[in-house]
């Protein structure tokens, strides 16, 4: 049950943070949320940088960090909370590595709304309508190489964790990183 990188993805309200923490506890492996990367526009007002440039810089920094951990022998490195458009970059960034993408989704919009409105995991994101739109987009597009879709509407955390671990155990990595999904099938929160 060893892979280089485990990416947990999905719209807000689908359990990424909770499941990432449980997976981290179970595997005892490094865990990174994209939101932990500093926001440079607010740290250095003397440097003019757009939101797109900031996100690009932060993504590049995260890739350097996780690949460095891997170079030092760490496995099962958990990455979560990437912008949806960045998920399309994963097969390119991790070409030659053993990686797996778990995309959590819901088949019930009301579940997403209630989870976002009643969350207690420290996440302050509250736009449940946008999350429902992203969830629908994810459900309708083709999978990326090494991607598994996990329906997480009515499962408890332990059941979903067990399903993820079963996929990790039986996963045979695809070496074909050809992306069969258009950029238009992905959403980005970046507006500039």
Domains of the chain plus CATH, in order, are 5-172 (3.40.50.300)
Residue 17, CB half-sphere, CA atoms under 13 Å: how many? 16
Full 3-state SS string of 17-83? HHHHHHHHHHHCCCEEEHHHCCCHHHHCCCCCCCHHHHHHHHHHHHHHHHHHHHHCCCCCEEEECCC
DSSP SS3 for 168: helix
pLDDT at 117: 85
Residue 69: pLDDT band with limits 50, 70, 90: very high
In this predicted structure, the answer to whether residue 40 has a pLDDT above a threshold of 60 is no
What percentage of the chain has pLDDT greater than the value 90?
55
What's the rounded mean pLDDT across residues 153-168?
A: 91
In this predicted structure, the answer to whether residue 165 has a pLDDT above a threshold of 90 is yes
Cβ-contact 141, 84 below 8 angstroms: no
Better-predicted residue by pLDDT, 90 or 185: 90
Instruction: Look at 3-12, 71-80, 179-188 and tell me which has the smallest mean pLDDT.
Output: 179-188
- DSSP characters for 112-151? HHHHHHT--SS-----HHHHHHHHHHHHHSPPPTTEEEEE
CA distance 172 to 166: 12
CA distance 169 to 161: 12
pLDDT at 41: 54
DSSP SS3 for 99: strand
pTM of the predicted structure, to 2 decimals = 0.90
Residue 73: pLDDT band with limits 50, 70, 90: very high
CA angle 6–9–12, rounded 5-degree value: 145
Nearest to 54 by CA among 65, 43, 64: 43
How many residues are recorded in the chain? 192
Pull the structure tokens for residue 96: 């030659």
């Amino acid at each position: 049950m060893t892979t280089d990188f485990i990416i947990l993805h999905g719209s807000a309200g689908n359990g990424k943070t909770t499941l990432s923490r449980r997976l981290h506890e179970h595997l005892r492996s490094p865990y990174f949320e994209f939101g932990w990367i500093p926001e440079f526009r607010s740290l250095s007002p003397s440097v003019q940088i757009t939101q797109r440039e900031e996100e690009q810089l932060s993504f590049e920094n995260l890739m350097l960090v996780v690949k460095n951990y891997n170079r030092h022998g760490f496995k099962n490195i958990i990455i979560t909370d990437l912008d949806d458009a960045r998920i399309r970059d994963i097969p390119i960034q991790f070409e030659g590595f053993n990686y797996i993408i778990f995309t959590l989704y819901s088949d019930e919009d009301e579940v997403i709304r209630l989870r976002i409105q009643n969350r207690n995991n420290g996440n302050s994101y509250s736009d449940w309508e946008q999350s429902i739109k992203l969830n629908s987009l994810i459900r309708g597009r083709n999978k990326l190489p090494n991607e598994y879709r996990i329906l997480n509407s009515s499962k408890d955390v332990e059941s979903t964790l067990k399903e993820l671990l079963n996929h990790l155990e039986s996963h045979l990595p695809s070496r074909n990183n050809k992306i069969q999904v258009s950029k238009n099938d992905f959403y980005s929160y970046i507006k500039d």
